[in-house]
Structure 1
Amino acid sequence: MDGEKRRELILGFLNETTQPTSGTHLSKELKVSRQIIVQDVALLRASGYDILATARGYILNQEAGMMQKRVILVKHTPEELEDELNTIVDNGGRVRDVIISHPIYGELVGDLMLKTRRDIKQFVDKVNNTSATPLMHLTNGMHMHTIEASSKEELDIIEEELHKKGYLRDTIHEE
């Protein structure tokens, strides 16, 4: 199978589900190495497809054009991580990513795509059950999130709730 056909099949898999699909699963289905899948996803992204690489796998952000986005600056303790994320989804938002500004490496971004409390629970469990630490540990709890919601009003409500809890520091950018 040539690369173009394989990339069409990858898009087909991603279009069929709203849940992340692991690179391992795709490599088994297409009978290629996981590295080939990583390269194909990079080529698809370069072609304009909004494919997110989350801790749970790849997901096609099919609603990207319909959502309002805002980058916010937040700070909290590790114990407040789950509450911060739940505050966003409980008020109609999604957490697309986490971003830190590192003094040596510059901007580091981790795709999250957390939409529900279940997604957050799985993410927090992974944080708690691995030796890896969240990016916020590199910056004493200060980090940014790209959040999405169906309207600017929902984004405003999310910011208001984060501010009430003392997590919100600033709005960085709005799309």
Structure 2
Amino acid sequence: MIRTLLILDGALVRGALAFVLSAQDDIDVVGEGDTGDDATALIRSLRPDVVVTDLGVMAGPHRRFACPALVLASQQQARRLVAAVRQQAQPCGFLGDHVAPQRVVDGVRRLARGEPVADARLAVAALNRSNPLTERETEILEIAATGSPAKDIAARLHLSPGTVRNYLSRVVAKVGARTRIEAVRIAQESGWI
């Protein structure tokens, strides 16, 4: 029996995946949580064979799992995936967060056997280091990196504050960030600004 722990943001997705995994004869979902803090405590107490998690949970500072992890990530998060997997002491597999549930089931089984699990699309996206930002988006993000608010960026570039906010929203989405600060960090780590 493969003891599996689910640490995923979003109760609906987590519950659906728990249902699918629990229906398997060889997989036992031993626990669920939605934050990195949950992961640390639950791994210690439940001692799972595999953790299924999302990149947001795994990529937390100093977050190292004490068992193999199957990471679900979006295409936009692929660049962050490499660094998150690299910090882990245990084997990690990764799949797109859009895959069919059976691929997650297969991934859990493969990780439990010590086999690699990788989504080819995510691997290609993670290795693609080209800058997805336009010249204007890069310029706006560079100014935003100094801490300037949208109003000041707009005045400096002769744009409206709404236009600047729209640019920043597109930048956040393109780099797979949740906030402007995270977008700046990703762009700096990738060498785009």
The normalised TM-score by structure 2 is 0.25
Compare the two structures and name the one with the higher strand fraction.
1
Structure with the higher fraction of residues in helix conformation: 2
Q: Which has the larger radius of gyration?
A: 2
Which structure exhibits the higher relative contact order, with contacts defined as CA atoms closer than 8 Å and separated by 6 or more residues? 1
